[in-house]
Amino acid sequence: MSKLVITSIGPASSIQDGGRPGSQRYGLVPSGAMDRLALATANTLVGNEPFAACVEIGPFGAAFTARGGAVRIALAGASRNADIAGRPVVPNTSATLADGETLTLGFARSGSFSYLAIEGSIAGEPMFGSLAVNARAGLGSPYPRPLQAGDELQTTTASGATERRIELPAVSDAPIRVVWGPQDDEFADDTKKLFVDSEWKISATSDRMGYRLEGPALTHLHGHNIVSDGTVNGSLQVPGNGQPIVLMPDRGTSGGYPKIATVISADFGRFAQTPAGRPFRFQAVSMAEAQAEARRFAELLRSLPDRLRSIESVDLNLDALHDANVAGYAVSAIDAGTWEAEITGPD
């Protein structure tokens, strides 16, 4: 057995997997990864089940050291500087840490969460069928709390398999799509128009339970209290102050504020990755469109194994190097077409 020792890590980092689906009927918080596509991508790269447990890393940096043997990892999600003993690690690729080597991650440059998958997954004792951490409820394994320096993640020794990468569609910067309701009748038409016409920001006081939105106050027609009913990821509750709260995976299973709209499931991960303070907008779509997008998203998840590509010991993908800012203009010693052509630059 090998282990990955956390040598440094910021807040908002914990063990997350696919959560506890089907348990909300019993009042059990679902929890799970904020960005399911990034979770599945990282796991697929190292041969795990798509929703196996990963380290969900918040916007701050972190460092992990292999002990007791080599550890194979993959990184997906928010873009950030990453290296293993000085060797760059590109997002959506796998890599192997030799015994004693350290993976160092910088601050997130885009997005909020990265997912670190470990080949063989993370050893832990499932709680209600999942390792997903919900610190408020004291649930999760191997640590039912945010991760901290000195924690050790037990896993299997690296298999020595060829490293791989996954090609994903570009992340859209389009508005976050919502469907109205279930209590949109508690808001006048002009309030609903204000909601979709306005620019919003996520408050720095947000967490895995809910994202507080900063923007215009939304006015209720009949007060802000309703009979409590069930919630889902993306429920947009509007409390008495008129500032919406988008419910996230560690939310309560029911809520007593009117819900003007719900973020569609296909856009939920993209919404969860929105950094605090960055402006964005909402767009209302029909239920039929939301269902069609859910099917497309499910197909994307199913297609991840087909998108895998091997990484050779020498990567000659010059465009990728240029796009990653690893090299300004790169040439290949075995491809004359890259260096025989005239190279021009500013005078």
Q: pLDDT at position 314, please?
A: 39
* Statement: residue 335 has pLDDT above 60: no
Query: Hey, what are 222's tokens?
Result: 């009949």
Q: Classify strands 164-166 and 308-310 as parallel, antiparallel or unpaired.
A: antiparallel
Q: Where are the beta strands (DSSP E) in the chain?
A: 2-9, 14-16, 54-57, 62-67, 71-84, 87-88, 93-97, 102-118, 152-155, 164-166, 176-180, 201-202, 210-214, 229-230, 235-237, 245-247, 254-255, 259-263, 282-284, 308-310
What mean pLDDT is predicted for residues 61-70?
Answer: 96
Torsion of CA 165, 142, 129, 122, to 10 degrees: 20
CATH number at residue 246: 2.40.100.10
Per the structure, the count of domains in the chain is: 3
What mean pLDDT is predicted for residues 111-127?
Answer: 96
Domain region containing 78: 2-166
- 171 part of a folded domain: no
- The dihedral through the CA atoms of 23, 25, 30, 34 has a sign that is positive
Question: What is the pLDDT confidence band of residue 323, given thresholds at 50, 70 and 90?
Answer: very low
* Statement: residue 341 has pLDDT above 80: no
Q: Which of 131, 166, 201 is the last residue of a domain?
A: 166
What mean pLDDT is predicted for residues 143-170?
Answer: 95
Whether residues 35 and 134 fall in one domain: yes
Whether residues 223 and 187 fall in one domain: yes
- The answer to whether 235 and 259 are in contact (CB under 8 A) is yes
pLDDT, tens digit (0-9, with 9 covering 90-100), for 70-93: 999 999 999 999 999 999 999 999
- 184 part of a folded domain: yes
Percent above pLDDT 90 for the chain: 84
Q: pLDDT at position 171, please?
A: 87
How far is residue 218's CA from residue 241's CA, in Å, rounded to a whole number? 8
How far is residue 50's CA from residue 298's CA, in Å, rounded to a whole number? 12
How far is residue 236's CA from residue 257's CA, in Å, rounded to a whole number? 9
Lowest mean pLDDT among 124-133, 260-269, 322-331: 322-331
Whether residues 298 and 321 fall in one domain: no
pTM of the model: 0.88
Whether residues 162 and 201 fall in one domain: no
Q: pLDDT at position 163, please?
A: 96
- The answer to whether 108 and 13 are in contact (CB under 8 A) is no
Does residue 240 or residue 332 have the better pLDDT? 240
SS3 assignment, position 102: strand
pLDDT, tens digit (0-9, with 9 covering 90-100), for 33-45: 999 999 999 999 9
What mean pLDDT is predicted for residues 127-137?
Answer: 95
How far is residue 251's CA from residue 326's CA, in Å, rounded to a whole number? 40
Whether residues 143 and 81 fall in one domain: yes
Q: pLDDT at position 1, please?
A: 80
Whether residues 161 and 20 fall in one domain: yes
Q: CA nearest 150: which of 14, 12, 6?
A: 6
Angle at 279 between CA 278 and CA 284, to 5 degrees: 130
Q: Which of 113, 132, 166 is the last residue of a domain?
A: 166
